[in-house]
Structure 1
Amino acid sequence: MKDFKVGIVQLPAKGDKNHNLEKMEEYVNKASEMGADVVCLPEMWNCPYQNSYFLKFAEKEYDISYKKMSEVAKKNKIYLVGGSIPVKIGDKIYNRSYVFNRDGEEIYRYSKVNLFDIEGFKESDTLSGGKSLGVFETEFGIFGLAICFDLRFPEMFQRFREFGAEVIFAPSTFLVKTGEKHFQLLNQARAIDSQCYMISPTIARDDDLSRNAYAHSLVIEPSGEVVIDMGTEPSVEVVEIKAEKVKREREKFPLEKSRENRKL
């Protein structure tokens, strides 16, 4: 792994998709100007986090949001981890993330496996879950990609580690009630479990359709230390990711060696 700079975009999702697309481009441009090599968007950045909007804003593959992300990545010569958007395939809608390289080419995609089904709200009322998990590679290293509710499933993050990941992106849209209790805790736990950096951009809070968003985008070191908490307002931050932090944490606590020793 090599050192690199990551841009974290925290913006609210409005009821006007064109507005969301324009704001995404504006914020990614800013992150690039600040020196970011890789930029990550939040979960459902183009769509308010409500089942009715998942249905209303769902796009076919390679539609307007996909094209705009590709265009923005190419224009800024960055890697873009596209948060997630609702994508319609046949009669199903997926909560899907796309990753683009510096030339605007798609290099990876992931559909959220663990749907947010809790008391009072079910993503599965409108969304279908993905079935596969993997990693993607850049010149900076191997990265994992999860989405929001996936943070509650530590076995996924152990798989990322087994696949060679040293940085894991987890674009999210936690709500205030659960976010206050669990968002930072889960990110710290997954960082410590996997001995990876956790990079978790979230939707910003506002007085409109994102008023229940917890926000507080995070970057967590492999040790569990919080590098940045972005609060609730719309913003862009750029953070340096240091390969030595991963290397040293794994040297200090050789968890994989312990796993080998206990195998029967």
Structure 2
Amino acid sequence: MMKVGIIQMNSGADPVQNMDVLQTSLQRLHQQGVKLALTPENALVFGDKQDYQRHAEPLGHGPIQRQLAEMAHQFDIWLVVGAFPIQNDNGRLSSASLVFDNAGHLRGSYDKLHMFDVEVADAHGRYRESDYFQAGDQLATVDTPFGCLGLSICYDVRFAPLYHALRAQGADILTVPAAFTRVTGQAHWEALLRARAIETQCWVIAAGQCGEHSKGRQTWGHSMIIDPWGQVVASLGDDPGVTWAELDLSIGESIRRKMPVLDHARLQTQLK
């Protein structure tokens, strides 16, 4: 048994302001005994292409990542930073989820596989994430004292084979940091998260951006923690905040023993 926490934010383009909010949130979770915390996608920088380029850092280096590592150590917490712009050797940026342990060491990372290139009926209208970032091409799991994390980011949640593959690699807990639009979030957010939990028989922890952002962007919020039976055990609404829940891996083990759906699967879909 352990406590996991989720942080819901209304981030902007200034990492200093966002870091202040994150520090206050982590302090609250630490006071509740939380040992693993998840931030939303773009928690430290949520802006336009120039903002991501300005604040991007090489993986494992740079002042922002050092500060994140220090906070993980300060609050004795495993910190999963939902997504942060990473500068690659080829000059392109990746949208990467970063996992720091409670000693402040970077224990793993994941480059977002699926780019959000869609049209949405909101004030922003057209989203072209591939204009900012290059897509990743690798799955990522991270072993922790609390179980194996399977990493994903936002739009990934619409692609079930990714989560089947993470479970096949031993994931017990699936992380879904996000900046879901209000329109798509209201329609699909909870349904998709619960489906991923049910079909993989894993815990799902999902932290989202919320509220109004620059250039007409509106995000849905409603961060939640879901058990392997698909039940929402903790959730937030429309505003920034934190929540937490006790996570018991034996629940998933029991469900998989009684209903071994992965053993019964007859069709195997491979990632491209």
TM-score, normalization by structure 1: 0.92
Is the Cα–Cα contact under 8 Å of residues 211 and 218 in structure 2 kept in the other structure?
yes
Change (3 A) 1:98 1:193: same
Give 2:115's aligned residue.
115
Residue of structure 1 in register with 2:64 after alignment = 65
Pick aligned residue for 1:255 from 257, 261, 265: 261
**Structure 2-normalised TM-score?**
0.90
Corresponding residue of 1:175: 181
Change (3 A) 1:53 1:210: farther
Offset of 1:192 from its aligned partner? 0.9
Secondary structure of the structure 1 residue equivalent to 2:4: strand
2-side partners of 1:252 and 1:165: how far apart? 18
Q: Deviation per CA, 1:92-145: give whole Å up to 9, x if none.
A: 011011101111011111110111111321100111111111211111111101
Report the equivalent of 2:159. 153
Q: State the match for 2:122 in structure 1.
A: none
Q: Letter of the 2:72 partner, please give it.
A: A
Match of 2:234? 228
Q: Structure 1 residue 28 and structure 2 residue 26: aligned?
A: yes
| Structure 1 stretch displaced more, 85-94 or 100-109 | 85-94
Counterpart of 2:4? 6
What is the Cα deviation at residue 13 of structure 1?
0.6
**Does 1:205 pair with 2:203?**
no
Task: Give every structure 1 segment of 4 or more consecutive aligned residues whose post-TM-superposition deviation is greater than 4 Å.
Answer: 206-211
In structure 2, the partner of 1:96 is: 96
**What per-residue deviation string (whole Å, max 9, x for no partner) do you get for residues 221-256 of structure 1?**
111111122011111112111123212221232112
Tell me the percent identity. 28
SS in 2 for 1:144: strand
How far, CA to CA, are the matches of 2:101 and 2:232 in structure 1? Answer: 27
Comparing 242-251 with 64-73, greater Cα deviation is found at 242-251
The answer on whether the counterparts of 1:35 and 1:238 sit within 8 Å (CA) in structure 2 is: no
Aligned to 2:131: 125
Q: 1:209: Cα distance to partner? A: 6.8
The superposition leaves residues 32-86 of structure 1 with CA deviations (integer Å, 9 ceiling, x where unpaired) of 1111011111100011254443334333431122111100011111111111111
Long gaps (5+) in structure 2: 120-125
Partner of 2:199: 193
Q: Determine the structure 2 residue equivalent to 1:135.
A: 141
The one of 43, 52, 55 equivalent to 1:54 is 52
1:6, CA displacement in angstroms? 0.5
Q: Which amino acid aligns with 1:170?
A: V
Of stretches 223-232 and 49-58 in structure 1, the one that deviates more from structure 2 is: 49-58
* Root mean square deviation of aligned Cα: 1.9
Change (3 A) 1:198 1:223: same
**Aligned match of 1:38:** 36
C-alpha distance in 1, partners of 2:215/2:240? 14
- Which SS does the other structure have where 1:102 is aligned? coil
